[in-house]
Amino acid sequence: MSAEEFRLLRDHVYSHCGILVHEDMKFVMERRLWPRLEVLGAPDFSAYHRYLRYDANRHVELEAAVESLTTHETYFFREPSQLKAFREELLPTLEKRNARTRRLRLWSAGCSSGEEAYTLAMLLKEERRFDDWDVEVYGTDISRRVLAMARRAEYGPSALRATSADLLERFFLPTGHAKVRVRDEVRAMVSFGHHNLLDEAGSQLVAKMDAVFCRNVMIYFDQSARRKVLRILRDRLVPGGYLLLGHSENLLNLGADFELVHLRGDLVYRRPELPGLLGSESR
């Protein structure tokens, strides 16, 4: 892969989904995309770029290229201190706020193979306070392959490495071959959809959410793409709705219209209740 081929492919991927492949990742891009050239019979990366730009099947191949370039490492009950804060401090607030409608909507944005979305459903099951509510956890990802895995809901030991024995017994069924399947009562609370976080028009189809989990997703984006994603996520939150990021992520220098909320065990962000009401607060 020449420097020019790398630039063309990098920029094309970036314009599609906001994922920025840095200069020092040129060899990785070459290694991961080479099998796609072999599948298509493309003689070189210039021909592959032309295919992505002009072929009738370019959209399908672009999804395959992004799939090859992204990593989908996750597991159940990841970042437990944040989940504890969400369960003990935010869920009671959401229960009071939505007491009239008795409806709760959570979004796992960039859900990968579904562990986070199912984790949220399990937390709600554990709480019991929402048992007779209209509850939905919605998981989205740009990768159709991992969404198929999420819908299948079968997982091996790596995905369960932070799952306690009692949670494993309550929410999973053994399937053989060292795998377990999420129980139907949890699966019924969760739905999945294909979604590009930079797609503003497609995002309008997502319902208004009470809380959005977008953890360890924006590390793949540059500042410009992060700002756009944050604007879209803010738009899909109800006023007063919460945004939870990964512990290595924050909104510093992004100018996003969110309030910083200090919980006892974590920091989260909130869409202001009133237009123009910005700043930080402590709880």
Q: What angle do CA 99, 104, 109 make, to 5 degrees?
A: 150
- pLDDT tops 50 at residue 282: no
Mean pLDDT of the 135-145 span = 92
At 99-138, the pLDDT tens digits run: 999 999 999 999 989 999 999 999 999 988 899 999 999 9
Q: What is the per-residue pLDDT for 254?
A: 62
Would you place residue 278 in the very low, low, confident or very high pLDDT band (cuts 50, 70, 90)? very low
Q: What is the per-residue pLDDT for 218?
A: 79
The DSSP letter of residue 159 is G
Angle, nearest 10°, between helix axes 26-40 and 45-54? 70
Burial class, 276, CB count within 10 angstroms (exposed 0-12 / middle 13-18 / buried 19+): exposed
Distant-in-sequence, close-in-space partners of 7: CB < 8 Å, separation ≥ 6: none
- Active centre residues (catalytic): 32, 141
Q: What is the per-residue pLDDT for 281?
A: 42
On whether the CB atoms of residues 150 and 114 are closer than 8 A, the answer is: yes
The alpha carbon of 44 is separated from its chain's Cα centroid by a whole number of angstroms, namely 33
Q: What is the per-residue pLDDT for 128?
A: 87
- pLDDT tops 70 at residue 255: no
Mean pLDDT of the 139-156 span = 92
Q: What is the per-residue pLDDT for 169?
A: 95
Domains along the chain with CATH numbers: 3-69 (1.10.155), 80-282 (3.40.50.150)
Of 191-195, 197-201, 221-225, 232-236, the one with minimum mean pLDDT is 221-225
**Between residues 163 and 281, which one has the greater pLDDT?**
163
Q: How does the average pLDDT of the chain come out, rounded?
A: 88
- pLDDT tops 80 at residue 86: yes
3-state secondary structure 34-50: HHHHHHHCCCCHHHHHH
Q: What is the per-residue pLDDT for 135?
A: 96
**Between residues 249 and 110, which one has the greater pLDDT?**
110
- pLDDT tops 50 at residue 2: yes
3-state secondary structure of 163: coil
Q: What is the per-residue pLDDT for 256?
A: 62
At 33-54, the pLDDT tens digits run: 988 899 899 999 999 999 999 9
Q: What is the per-residue pLDDT for 44?
A: 93
* Percent of the chain with pLDDT strictly greater than 90: 53
Q: What is the per-residue pLDDT for 220?
A: 77
- pLDDT tops 60 at residue 277: no
